[in-house]
Amino acid sequence: MKLLFIGDIVGRSGRKAVKNHLSHNQYDFIIGNVENSAAGFGITDKVYHELKDTGINAMTAGNHTWDKKETLSLINNWDVFIRPANLSNKLPGAGYKIFDVLNKKICVINLIGRVFLYTSNCPFETFNNIYKEIPDDAFVLVDFHCEATSEKQAFGYFAKGRANVICGTHTHVQTNDLKMIDTNTLYITDAGMCGAECSVLGMEAGNIIERFITQIPHRFTVETKGNIMFNGFSFTIDDDNIIRDYKLISEIYPEEEM
């Protein structure tokens, strides 16, 4: 079985990159982080269905989960959407889901880090609690949406041997450390992003530069000009859930009309 994880999808440019990469879909199961997919902040019902139609089978989120008001009322209707599990249990939505794929169970867990992000429950303890509920034969993938590389790496070594894949998201900059950290635990600090290649984390550079210089808030806008970039990684698992091969993906598509 061949699986694909897609880094943070940023706005219209990111969605276009995903469509380009999946135009000849060669995967049995696809996971994508979608928390920036609607104009760079959050997700809407329209964008949810658009991404699902491209072939994404599981969608994870992060600190921008609730940026669109409609999310609170619609999240329980989005059957493949997973929000961070270590947020308040009073919030709607699921923090992990188990999917049946080709006679396998694939468990996708979404967690959010605590360093430099808003207050949340401990992701380490939350993983422990979830892991107790997962069937023994499930293949476990964790999207750890986190700012600090140290927190991601610490979680990787904490969960190795239990999680089969531990994937960092949030920084939008792909790291070159896709590797096995246990006999069957694949790890990467950050999968990167899908969006405009010449941008600041997928956004137009001008307003962000102005904010750094003046310290005055400016509205961030998704960059839609220039080449677009697709970041992620693929891997294959055998009948015994053993990871047999893995590959970092970073593709550039020439500028075209958005």
Which residue numbers are catalytic? 64
| DSSP alpha helix (H) spans, the chain | 11-21, 45-54, 70-74, 123-131, 149-159, 205-214
Backbone angles phi, psi at 245, to 5 degrees: -155, 155
Spatial CB neighbours of 211, under 8 Å, sequence gap ≥ 6: 217, 218
The partner residues of 136 in beta bridges, in order of sequence, read none
Other CB atoms within 10 Å distance of the CB of residue 139: 24
**Rounded Cα distance, 163 and 159, in Å:** 6
